[in-house]
Structure formats: structure tokens, C-alpha cells
Structure 1
Amino acid sequence: MAKFAILASGSGSNAQVLINWVRAGKIDAELACLVCDRPGAKVIERAEAAEVPVLVYSPKEFVNKAAYEAQLVADLRARGVEYVVLAGYLRICGPTFLEAYAGRTINLHPSLLPLFPGLHAIRDAFEAGVKYTGVTVHFIDEGVDTGPIIRQETVWIAPEDTLETLEAKIHAAEHRLLPEVAAQFLTGQLQLVNGKIETEKK
């Protein structure tokens, strides 16, 4: 059984869904730990309540990004982590992390990439006045939300939607899409091979 880690920065609703799926046996993998780069974030409470080991870092306390990521990678390897799921991790992964986990890390993004990359995707889509947006799960690379796309789900924006109601729709789609893709990813049913996504049914 593969071991994986969740990296998250905020409230952790997507991390909670992943934890729930693991506990229900719907993800056939071992959740080795949850990593948070923001001490005090709500996701830490969620993981502790579920008795998931938690690693908390303050990146600003490290000399530079490479030093932070070197410690992160060392700690993940010490726990036997083979795969990583980014679930609301608000930090761009640099070369040190990518060298260790490129091709073995997926990310959730709240837009239909390549549209609206970056930190404020939901707000950007809402303010742009588009008729639909969505969510994306993709492999990470050195860019900002630019890695190979695995799956997407469209979310329609109704005329009466506010930013808050759109956010709720996006989160509901995230909670459906991420665990489904993670379940396939963590059991080897989808892989990144020579820059291309390959899938197999088990």
C-alpha cells in the first residue's frame, strides 16, 4: 500500500474529504502525514482530530525556499512518503521539492486551467464575468498551475450568483473531483510517463 502526504495551508475542507475517504477505505493508500506551512491554520485541527500525524513549518524561519523544501523532503522521506496531494497548499513548489516528487504530486486548482491560474482564481473568474468556470486536478511542474491536466469539472455561473455562492459551488465540485482522482493516482491507475498521463483500470 502506497504512502502519501497531504499538503495544505488553510481551512482544510479538501484535506478533510481525503481523510474521510481514507478512513472509509475508498482510497487504498496510507495517509502518512499532513503538512501545513501556516501555524494555526484550521487544517491542523482537522488532522489532529482525525489522528493524522501533522508536520507544521514556518517557511520564513528558513534561510531560503530551498532550505525549507530540503527539510520538508527529508521529513517526508523519513516517513516513507511516495506520493503527495496538494489540497489548498498556497505555495509554489520549487526545484528542491520537484526533484524529489515531480510526477508524484497532484494539485487541486479552483478554475478550468489554463484559465485563471494563481491564488485568486474564483474571484478572478467571477469578476471577469464569464458564464462558467470550474476545478482542475493536475500534476505539478515548475510553473504556476501549468502542469499536465488530469481531470476537470465545469461549474456554471448563474446570473444571480454572488462571489460567496460561486465559492460554495466550486468547493462542492472540489470535494467530488479531488478524492476520485486521488484514489486513482495513489493506486497507480493514473501516472505521468514521459510528460503524458497514462491510465489503467483495476
Structure 2
Amino acid sequence: MILNLIIMRPAVVYGVGAMGGLTPRLICGRVYQHLKKKMEFLWTKDLRINTVHVSDVTRAVWHTANWYVSNDKQGSSVIFNLADENNTDQEAVNTHIRAIFGIETGFQGTLVSQFAKLNMKEATEDINEEHLAPWSEILKEHSIKTSPLTPYLDQELLCNNAVSLDGTKICKTTGFSYEKPKMTEESLREIIADFQELGIWPKD
């Protein structure tokens, strides 16, 4: 049996409505603003976490479906990576977090991170414990009773796993173009503003 199949492999998805992706890092930024402390992530600034805007993901799905049908690709399987041209790394994200929250940021470096890697489960629990309680305090202070947003970071997100994708094949093959080719401070602020309008992120 031959399947009509298009496989989309997105990088880290961010944008309005995306609760995963970069959103937990934004929440961590708000937590460290509240704590008046420097925010430091594991590993180094050049760890790749390539990104793609959620609007480009939805556009790509519709675009490739139309391309597939109009070019008589039925009966074949195609695979496309989705990643903007920003080649985003941890420092690129932290640069915007510094600007948005007015905090210092940094990285633990390889030595400390390798030590944490020896017992990543315990390290993950410690990191999340440091973030979850202050976030609850922030929500309480702003009379937000419930919020689906969390600074909780899965263990796999704390490992030294780069997300590095070439997202140009879809452009060359189907004529698709990314409307959000680079992650910007404004695009991250839009995420926060949307959550504030929904009443699940503090307005301050």
C-alpha cells in the first residue's frame, strides 16, 4: 500500500498560542525578574535551538498540501524540515530575554553542565523546584487563580541536545517562503501580550 504522505519536521516552534517551545524560557525570565537574580542555563551560549514561527508552520502545512496535489505527487512520500534562517542558539534567545525582562543571563558552561549530566534527573528536579514556587507566587500576587503556563522544563530539554535543521528544502522544492525568517524581540513580546489578554500571564 502506497501512502500519500508529507512529513513536516519543525524546529523549536514559538509564537502566539505556543505554550511549549520558547515559552518556558520566557516564563523563567519572568521568574528571575521577580527573584532579582541572574538567569543561567546549562551548557553554552552556542548550543543550537533552531526556531520556526507557529504561523509559518501552519502556512507550510497548507502550502505543501496544495503543492502535493497540484504537482501530482500522490503515491509518494516527502519530508521537509521547518526552520527559519536565524540559526537560533541559546544566546540569541537570552539576548531577547535580557531586553524584555531587564535581567542578567548567562550559562553554566561545560564543566558544571557535565557534572549535572551525571545525575540529570536530580538536576532537573532541583531546577524546576527553583522555578515553580516563584511562578506560583507571581500568579498569586496578580490574582491569577489558574494558568496552564509553567516554567517546568523536561529533562530532555536540559540535555546537551542541539536542534539544528536546514529548512531551505521546502523553499527550493515547493516555492514556500518564511514570513518570519528571524526570531525578534517583538515576536516574543507578542507571545506574552497574548497570554496577558487571556488572563494567564501577569500584567505588569
TM-score, with normalisation over the residues of structure 1?
A: 0.34
Higher strand share: 1
- For CA contacts below 8 A with separation 6 or more, give which structure has more relative contact order: 2
TM-score, with normalisation over the residues of structure 2?
A: 0.34
